Structure 1
Amino acid sequence: MGKIAQGILGGLSGKVGNIIGGSWKGIDYIRIKPSSVANPRTVGQVNQRNKFSATLEFLQPNKDFLNVGYKNFAIKKTAFNAAMSEILANAITGVAPDFTVDYENALLSKGTLPGVLDPAASYTTPGQVGFSWTDNSTGINALETDKAMLLVYNPAKKESVANMVGSTRVDEGFSLAVPANYAGDLLYTYIAFVSIDGKVSNSSYISSGVVS
C-alpha cells in the first residue's frame, strides 16, 4: 500500500492504483504503471487515470520549457511534477471518462516576474510562427533584458518547438521555425519571460492556428 504524505504529487511512497511514487536524491517523483487487463477499474480509477494520461501527453513534449518555468517550485519534487500538479488542479476539462487539457488555462511557466503585454501569433508564413508583443520593460520589476520563452505545441504530432533565448521584451517579436511536417496541423502558442537572475513569469496562452 502506498502512503501520501504531502498531497497527491508530493511525498508519495509506494503504489496507489497504477501511480507509483518514490524518492531519488531527496526529490519526490511519480510515474504511471500501465494497467493490466485484470486490474479492477472503478469509475473513479478510470477517471483519475484518464486525467493523468491527458496531462502527461501534454507535458512530456514540453519538458525543456517546464524545467525553466517551474524550477522555482522544484523543492523535493521535480519541475515536471510541479507542473503536473498545476495542470491537474486547474486545466483539466471534459466529461467523464473523456478528459483533456484545457490549453487556454494551462500554465507552462509559473512565477512572479511580470508577464507579457498584448501577445499575438501569426501563422501566415510557411514553416514559421511569428510571435509579437508590446514592450513593457518600463513597468515595475520588468527589465529590457528579460528573455522571451516561446513555445509552439503540436498535439497531433505530440511534439513542441521552443525558443528560450531568441529575443527580449524590447525586441517585441520573434519568428520561430517549425518543421515542414507541421503544415496543416493545428498549433497552439505560448509565451513567458525569464530574467537574468532566474525569475520567471506565468506563461500566457496566445492562440491556435495552422501553418502551410
Structure 2
Amino acid sequence: MAIINQGILGGVSGQIGNVIGGTWKGIDYLRIKPSSVANPKTEGQLDQRSKFATVLRFLQPMSDFLRIGFKLYAIKMTEFNAAMSYNLFNGVVGAYPNYNIDYPNALVSRGNLKGVANGTATSTTPAQIDISWDNNSSSGNALATDKSLILVLNPDKKESIYTTSGPDRTAGSETLNLPAEYTGDVVEVYLGFVSADGTKVSNSTHLGSVTVA
C-alpha cells in the first residue's frame, strides 16, 4: 500500500503496483520496481561473468597506468572501463569456464602514435628486466621526444611495475628494477610510447613472457 503525503500532489511513500515512491534528501521521487530475473545464473550470464572476471584480474594491477594508456578512449567512460571494453573483445582466449588472457593481443595502451619496432625483453641480472627497441623516430608520426611506456605484469602476484615517462624513443633501451621476490616468476612485458605533450599514445606491444632471473 502507498501513502500520498500532502494531498494528491504531494510525495508518494510506498508501492503502487510496480511503482515505488519515497524521499531522498528531502526530494520526493518515483521509480519503477526492477523486473525480477527468473534465473540470474543462465549459461550465457555465467559465461560473460567468467570472461569479465578474467579481464578484471588482468587490468586491476595496472589501473594507474591505464589512465595514460587508454586516456584517448575514455569518452563518456573511465580509462579503466575503456581498457576493459577493448580487452573483453580482443584480449581473451579459451571457452567457459577456462578463459585466459591472450597476452600478445591484449593492449595496455591504445592509440595511433607510431608503435614499437623490434622490441625485446630479457632478464639476465637478478630482479631486473632489460628492454630494448629500435629508434624509429623518423617513421610516420613518431618523434624523437616520445616517451616510452613500460609495464611489467606479475600475474601470479597480481602486481605490476611500470613507468609512464620512460626514456625517449631514441634511447632504444631501459632497465627496470623489480622486487627481489619476483625472482623465478614469469612476468608479461609491454612497451608503448606517449608523445611528450601527452596528446598521442601508441598501441602497446607485448614483448613476451619473461622468467625473472
- Normalising by structure 1, we get a TM-score of 0.80
Range that drifts further, 113-122 or 87-96 = 87-96
CA drift at 1:140 = 2.2
Q: How far apart in 2 are the matches of 1:140 and 1:102?
A: 28
Deviations 1:64-100 (A, max 9, x none): 2211011011111001000000000111111212112
Identity across matched positions, percent: 50
TM superposition outliers: structure 1 runs of 4+ over 3 Å: none
Unaligned runs of 5+ in 1: 1-38
Q: Spell out the pairing of 1:16-95 with structure 2 (5 A cutoff).
A: 40-95=40-95
CA root-mean-square deviation: 1.1
2:99 is matched with 99
Q: How far apart in 1 are the matches of 2:103 and 2:210?
A: 13
Aligned with 2:84: secondary structure? helix
Native 8 Å contact 2:121 2:131 kept in 1: yes
Q: Spell out the pairing of 1:152-163 with structure 2 (5 A cutoff).
A: 152-163=152-163
Q: How far apart in 2 are the matches of 1:83 and 1:62?
A: 11
Q: Spell out the pairing of 1:75-154 with structure 2 (5 A cutoff).
A: 75-154=75-154
CA drift at 1:41 = 1.7
1:202 is matched with 203
Unaligned runs of 5+ in 2: 1-38
Q: How far apart in 2 are the matches of 1:190 and 1:166?
A: 13
Aligned with 1:170: secondary structure? coil
Q: How far apart in 2 are the matches of 1:101 and 1:166?
A: 26
Larger Rg: 2
Q: How far apart in 2 are the matches of 1:157 and 1:119?
A: 25
1:35 is matched with none
CA drift at 1:197 = 2.3
Q: How many residues align?
A: 174
Q: How far apart in 1 are the matches of 2:170 and 2:54?
A: 36
1:29 is matched with none
Deviations 1:94-124 (A, max 9, x none): 1212112111110111101000110000111
1:169 is matched with 169
Aligned with 1:64: secondary structure? helix
Q: How far apart in 1 are the matches of 2:125 and 2:165?
A: 22
Aligned with 2:65: secondary structure? helix
